[in-house]
Structures are given as C-alpha cells and as structure tokens.
Structure 1
Amino acid sequence: MPARTSRMTLGRLLGLSRENNRARDWFFEDSGNLLPHHRHHELNPSIPPLEVTKIALRLRHLIEECVPCELEESLITQAHSRVITREVVLAAKEAGGEEYRSCVVFALLVCSRWFKRQAHLELWDATLHNVRSTACEVIAKAIIEGEEDMSYLLHTVLLHRFSILVNGKPTPPANAVEKAVDLHALRVICSSGYQKCLQYLWRGWLVQDEDDPTVFVDYRGRDDQRYIVHLDPDRLRAPVYQNIARLLFSFIYLALYTMSINSVNPNGEFDAAEILLFLFTLGFICDEFTKFWKAGYHILSFWSAFNGVLYAVLTVSFVCRMIGLSYPIGHELRHSYDSLSYNFLAFAAPMFWIRLLLYLDSFRFFGAMLVVLKVMMKESIIFFALLAVMVVGFLQAFIGLDLAEDLKTDEIWFIIQAMANSVMQSPEFDGFEKFAPPFGILLYYVFTFIVMVILLNILIALYGSAYSDIYENADDEYMALFAQKTMEFVRAPDENVYIAPFNLVEIGVIVLFSWWLPKRQYEFVNDVVMAILYSPLLLIAAYFESRKAGEIRRNRSRGEDDDDTVEEWEQIEDQIDFEAEGWTKRCAAVKANVETDPAVIEVRKLMDEVAELKLMIAELKKGMDGANGKKKDDVKKGSEGDGEDS
C-alpha cells in the first residue's frame, strides 16, 4: 500500500502546532547533525532496464570465461581463490562503468538466478552451472565488503530497485536485499555490509520515503535525544517493534487460552477470558486473509497451514459453544455441545505452544532449530510420497481380499488401523491370521517389512543428512532466516500498523471514518487511535531510542558508524603506538604469507635463485670472455714485436 503522506508525532497529538514543531525540528536537526546528509533519491539515478540487462549479460560472459569447466566449489569460495581473483572482482565492478556501477551487485544476483535455472534445465551440466552461480555470489560478496562508502552501499547498491527485461518487458522492480533473500544467497546475506543494512532496516533507521515507498531514506530522528520526538506511532513500522508486539500478543493469547481451558463453565456461558480468546482468534484470521489478499499464494507457507489448522479447530469449538447456547440450561444437548466445544479447545493445546516458535525465531537458538526442522520437513516429502504409494497399493489389496471372502467390506477400519500401527512401528499381526489365509498375513508381513525396514530407515537417513548439512552452516542459515523475517515486515508496508488483534479496531475505524473524513483528518484519527492502543510500547520504545540517540551522537563525534560500540580491547587503543614501538615491524617479519600457496612460494624462491645463478653465470662468462680477449691481444702484440725485431 502507499506510504503515508504525513507523519504525526505524539507532540502534535498533544496539541503542538505544526509550525512550532517544524521550526523546533529544524533547529535541533541543524544543530544536532554532526555528519552531512543528502537526499538519497538524488543519489539513486534511475537505470533503464535495458542497461541492467546488458550489464548482467556482460557479467554472465565474464563468469563463463573465468569458470570454463567443472571445478571444485572450494576453489571458488576459498579466501584467496586462484579462480575468483582480485582482477576478476575489479573487472566485474567495471561491467557497469562509472555511470551504472550501482547495479552490478543486483546484476550478479540475476546471473546467479540464471545459472541456477540453467542447472535445472541442463542436468548434464548442473555441476558447472551451480559452480558458476556460486561464483556470482562470491563476487557480489567481495564487492559489498570492499565498498568503503557506507551510505552509497546502503542506499544505492543494496536498497535501490532495479528491473531487467524479460520478453521485452521490464520485470517488477526489486533491490539486492530482496533478491538475495528470494534466491537464498547465503554468501551475499552473510556479508558484513548486507548485515549492516539489515540491522538498519530491523531497527527502523532506514525507512520508506513518505512520497515514494520504493525509496529508503534515513530516519531523521535517529540522533535526536528528545524523548517526545520518538513518541511517534509511525515508529511501530520498524520491524523490531512489530516483532516485539507480535511476541507479546502471542504470550497474551496463550495466557487467555490457559485461563479458558482451566476454567470450564458447566453451564456453557462465555467468560471474559473466552471472549477475548475468540476475539484474538478472529483478529488473527482476518490478518491471514489480509496477507493472502495482498500477496497472493506466495505468502503461503508451513506456518500459514499450521495457523490455519489451529484457527479452524478454535472456530469449530466456538460454533459448538454457540449451538449449545441455543438450548436451555440443563438440556442434554447443551451439555453435549459444551463438552464437545471444550474437547476441541483442549485438542488445540499442543498447537498453541508450538505456535510460539513462529515468533521466537528472531532469537538465535530457536531460529537455528527452526531452520533444521524446516529442512527436515522438506526432506520428509520423499518419505511420505513413497509411503502414500505403498499404503494405497496394500490398502486396495486388503480390501480386495475382504471382498473376495464375504462379498462385503466390514473390516475396512480394522485394516486402516492396523496399517497405521505398522507405520507407527507398532504392528498387530493377530487380526490377519484369519484374514483370507494365507494371503492376508503374507501381505501384512510384506507391508510391515517395507515400511519399518526400508522406508523408515530412508527417512532417518534423510533427517540425518539434513541435520548435518544445516548444523555445519547453522549461523549462515540463521542470518538468512532473520533476513527473510525482516523482509516480511519491510516489503509490504501498511499505512497504519494495526497488529492483530488490533486489526479489528482498524476495521472499525475504516467503517466509521474512512468513507466521509478527508485524508488528512483520517490519518490524524488513525494516529490518535494507534497512540492510545500502543502507548505502553511507545513509551518504552521512546525511552530506549532517546538513549540510543546519545550513543549515536558520541559515535558521530568520533567519526564512527552509528551502530559502533566500544569493546574492551578498543578502550585504550589511542594510548598505544605499535609503529613507534617497533611492534608493527616485528609482526610483519614473523607473519606467514596466507595469500599464496606454500608450494608457489618455494617455487618463486627457486626461480629467484635460478635467476641469480643465471646472472652469476653470465657475469662469469663475460669475465672469461674478457680475459680470453686480452690474452689474444697480448699474443698478437707479441707476434708483431717479434716481426719488427727480425
């Protein structure tokens, strides 16, 4: 949705005039900014999609020349690669020239996607294309980490949106941050510059421009130490505060459920906890439908399906309770429906607790664990596909045996239960001894052997492989998960951040005011409502932001980045001079050369010695030639003297 056209701080809501606020903001901003600021959409020139496509094609040709055949991936990714050298990185940076160099990282990610698609289409060269895709990510990471101008990197390289031409039409604009998340480009995501950009987005230090939401600008109040400036409902658009709010609402949701399930009402009436529980559920359901309406089926994931099941169970529980209330107190059907409602409510307890993991993934421990579980679930698709084929085949065989025996299928539930027990490693052979002997028991033995010995061991092997792959790369996978979570908050900004279940309040505000109030007054109403709803969170957030502003000012006075922190080993660095002490020279003398292979170093030494030896031989030969020439001259002179004497 379009970004807001005006921002209203709580100071304005309390009655301060716009002119006073503007003059005061100008004074503090002019006196407080210790570093120059620029309008970043002036630094972000629009690059035509045709030019971006040409740059991507140049980079593709460069990668194909540098990686002409199948190579070990370690040769591409090692610290001082002999394939992706500094010269290759420099050539990649020059692919866009001076005018279009800002889109090189984006174009490299486009090339990476092209190579991955080509690997899928050309399986006979899949290894080669995958290595080339990795080379694109390695070069992109090198360019990001080699950029010294942080403002240019954040606003122009990573967050500026570009398009390419596909079938003669430009693609939807995207930036390098989004592209890396979509491609799961771990090496780019784990680069230092990318992570700094992500942290700025997460904290709300980089926000969408009010006039153009596709452009990111610096949050102007970042270094403002005034408490009231940070009492702005728009600050809730920062991912960190949205995540905190969702986590708090999840704990409240769980507390309401605990109170509801532990206080069963014998007459079936709703108490306060149950009313709030079902209101929360309604808000979450509306939130899921809103996401689907805005983003389409792309938003669907494992958690969407999981939440859908949970909300469906709670909806059934609510419907049963309402049906029960339609009968008088003491009626048997009322008691029956009330019991059924509480049974469904109790059935949802495990899902309520598992749901917390969805909002705890911003913590490193839970995030890495969820990545492992996600990969395991993906790997288990192979097992369930094979299991489904086996179950359908053997189920048809058992039903056929039952029909052949007495012309009716009265053992269908027994067959399904026995097959399910076999899958759960608890087979029951007793019932099949008299089931169309000897075919029934033989088929059940075969089914049990296939499921328990073959398929389950395949599943265990897949889980073990997935765990080992992710565990070795757990930190990178966690950073990728964190990047994806940040992009979920940033990609589709809402005009007014009403986090479920407060989205029910938003529906009421829209119904009551949106159709008759002018836009400016309608936005003012939303600011007032949001300031009231989120006042506890806003008060706490403003306190921490005003304290952080002091740290930012101190960092800027030292010429450091806004997020810089002084660690223990940095506290007395200004009191020691390694150069004057001679320690720098000593360290340079003893350090090993890690950029060059030891064998290459020895060969170079040998080449130097051979060159020195050749020089010595040349000088020796020259000396010998000179001595021989002098001797010949002496002999010649002697012979001439003898002739004159004679």
Structure 2
Amino acid sequence: MSGFLDVAPENGERASLLSVKSAKPSPDTLTKLVKRLRALTLTLLPLEVDPASINDPTSRVITPQVISAYKAAAGDFTDALPYCLLRARAEFMWDANHNPADYGENIGRGTSVAIACEVLARRIVHLSPPDRLTVIMSSRFQHRQVDGDESDMSSALEQAIDSHCSIFLSSSEAQEVVNALWTGELIQKNNANHDIDYVPYADTREHTFWGHLDASRLNVPRYQNIFRIVIWFFFLVAYSQAVREPLERLGDSLDEWEVVLYTMALSFAVEGRSNFITTDD
C-alpha cells in the first residue's frame, strides 16, 4: 500500500503534464478540420450578413452556443482551432476574389463568413485559459495545399499577420503575446524539422552575472531596434566628420573617419545584398 501511495502522485503529476500539452494534428487532419469549419460557417451564415453585426460584442450571430459548437467540432485539437479558423477565413477570401461567377454575391457573402471566422477565433482565444494563451497563439501547424504539398509551418499569430486580420490582432490577447515577443519575455527555441517553440526567457536564463551578458539577447526585436538606432547615429557622426571641410584635407591617404565611413558603408551594402539573396531564395 505504501508503495502504491508513493507512485500515485508521480503518475498523477505525469498525467497533469500530459494534459497541458495537446496533441499536434497532422497536415491532413488539419486540412479536414478547416473544411469542417468552413462547412459549419456556411451553415451558420447561409446568406450575406452585415459585417458590423457579426463583430458587435452583443452579436446575435456569434453566441456562446455557437462558440461551443465550434469547440466541439475541433475535438481534441482546440489549441489549433484559432489557426484553423484564420485559415478558413483566408480560404473564404480567396474564393470570393477568384470566383468570377456572380462576383458581387461571392464577395459579399465571402466577407461575411470570413469576418465570422475571424471573430470566432478572437472570441475563442479570449475564452481560453491564460496559461494556454502563448501555446495557442504561437504553436505552429501545417496544412495540405491545393496542389497536395504541405504548407510552411505557421502559427495563429503569423496567419493573422499574413492575412491582415485586424479584428484578431487588435485583441488584448494578441497584443499581449506580441508585446512579450517584442520585449524578449518570450524567446524562440528551434526544434527539429524547422519547428519553433516560444518559451519564457525566465525559464532559460542563467541567474548569474554572465547571464546578463548573453549575446543571443540581440535577437530580441526591441534590442535589435535599439542597436540599429545606435549604429545609425554613429554612422551619422562618422559621415559628419568625414565630409567636414574636405578641401583642407586633400591628399592621397584617407583619414580615420573616412575609413570608418567606407567600412560601415561596405557593411551596409553586404547586409542588404545578403537580405536580397535570402528573399530570392
């Protein structure tokens, strides 16, 4: 009996840890879930509806019962539900813009169902537990494209940015995650197969003096922006010193400020060239 009591808490702890991490669907499963959500949304809105009435906080279209139905449709993949809804929104807008037959009706209804998907994604994220917010917003998934290939990995936040989902991005939950990424509270952790996890920086940092001198913190967007501003100010100083009274410094050799100026100009050119090559690839 004592042995059973000793083991039971450990098993319970493992069960609780497993319950925190939800299963990650395959691209085929995710594609089927997107199709299911599209069919459910078309059933919800069989006709064109005023978009303002859908996004209204007291909307009679997006009700708690509707949200519960979408959660039930997601089954065990509730963490992927906002991503799938935003993916369904993108497909609705693509259909509306690429179906030439009766364009007016298609774009009107397509906008209605697309906004409904976006509002549903926002409401579902808002109703999610706070400790699941980062996982829901930053977990990356793949879906099956029209040509049968697997898409690039993307998260709900990335999908919202790519699709210009202003309703979703204006939510306090999305802004909280964006601010955490900007300030470095969430950092990127690279995994196998080009997968990325975002983990709290406090869980990974070394609580020592040298931990404050971690060069990888330059990956934080806020620190990158500050570092870039400092570099440009230094470049302006070097430029001002190099071009000051040039007639008094005519000669065959370059002075120190000119060397600094040309070196920085060359480094900017190399950086721009590398970005151009990366974009082409």
Asked whether the two chains share a fold, i.e. TM above 0.5, the reply is yes
Q: How far apart are residue 103 of structure 1 and its match?
A: 0.7
Q: Which of 254, 268, 274 is the matching residue for 1:284?
A: 268
Q: How far apart are residue 225 of structure 1 and its match?
A: 6.1
| Structure 2 counterpart of 1:252, one-letter code | F
SS of equivalent residue, structure 1 residue 230: helix
**CA deviation digits over 1:87-107, x for unaligned, max 9?**
22222222211x211111110
- Give 1:173-252 correspondences, 5 Å limit: 173-209=153-189, 211-212=191-192, 214-220=196-202, 226-252=208-234
Aligned equivalents of 1:257, 1:95: Cα separation in 2: 62
Aligned residues: 256
Aligned position for 1:126: 107
Contact 2:190–2:196 (CA<8 Å) still a contact in 1? Answer: no
Q: How far apart are residue 71 of structure 1 and its match?
A: 2.0
Aligned position for 2:137: 158
| Structure 2 counterpart of 1:294, one-letter code | T
TM-score by length of 2: 0.82
Q: Does 1:81 align with 2:54?
A: no
Q: How far apart are residue 128 of structure 1 and its match?
A: 1.6
Aligned equivalents of 1:211, 1:61: Cα separation in 2: 34
Contact 2:85–2:118 (CA<8 Å) still a contact in 1? Answer: yes
Contact 1:144–1:191 (CA<8 Å) still a contact in 2? Answer: no
Consecutive unaligned residues of structure 2, counting only runs of 5 or more, are 1-15
Q: Which of 49, 61, 65 is the matching residue for 2:39?
A: 61
Q: How far apart are residue 224 of structure 1 and its match?
A: 7.0
TM-score by length of 1: 0.37
Aligned position for 2:77: 100
| Structure 2 counterpart of 1:100, one-letter code | F
**CA deviation digits over 1:559-610, x for unaligned, max 9?**
xxxxxxxxxxxxxxxxxxxxxxxxxxxxxxxxxxxxxxxxxxxxxxxxxxxx
SS of equivalent residue, structure 2 residue 246: coil
CA pair 96-221 structure 1, distance change in 2 beyond 3 A: closer
SS of equivalent residue, structure 2 residue 33: helix
| Structure 2 counterpart of 1:162, one-letter code | F
**CA deviation digits over 1:325-366, x for unaligned, max 9?**
xxxxxxxxxxxxxxxxxxxxxxxxxxxxxxxxxxxxxxxxxx
**Aligned-residue CA RMSD (Å):** 2.4
**CA deviation digits over 1:279-310, x for unaligned, max 9?**
1111111112222222327xxxxxxxxxxxxx
| Structure 1 counterpart of 2:125, one-letter code | I
Aligned equivalents of 1:39, 1:270: Cα separation in 2: 64
Aligned equivalents of 1:82, 1:211: Cα separation in 2: 43
SS of equivalent residue, structure 2 residue 266: helix
Aligned equivalents of 1:224, 1:276: Cα separation in 2: 36
Aligned equivalents of 2:183, 2:85: Cα separation in 1: 28
CA pair 174-255 structure 1, distance change in 2 beyond 3 A: same
Aligned equivalents of 2:227, 2:271: Cα separation in 1: 14
CA pair 211-136 structure 1, distance change in 2 beyond 3 A: closer
Q: How far apart are residue 274 of structure 1 and its match?
A: 2.3
| Structure 2 counterpart of 1:275, one-letter code | V
**CA deviation digits over 1:131-165, x for unaligned, max 9?**
221111111111111112x332212x111111111
Q: How far apart are residue 127 of structure 1 and its match?
A: 1.8
| Structure 2 counterpart of 1:257, one-letter code | Y
Q: Which of 234, 258, 280 is the matching residue for 2:240?
A: 258
Q: How far apart are residue 44 of structure 1 and its match?
A: 5.2
Aligned equivalents of 2:54, 2:243: Cα separation in 1: 57
Contact 1:112–1:134 (CA<8 Å) still a contact in 2? Answer: yes
CA pair 100-270 structure 1, distance change in 2 beyond 3 A: same
Aligned equivalents of 2:208, 2:117: Cα separation in 1: 45
**CA deviation digits over 1:225-249, x for unaligned, max 9?**
6443222112222111111101111
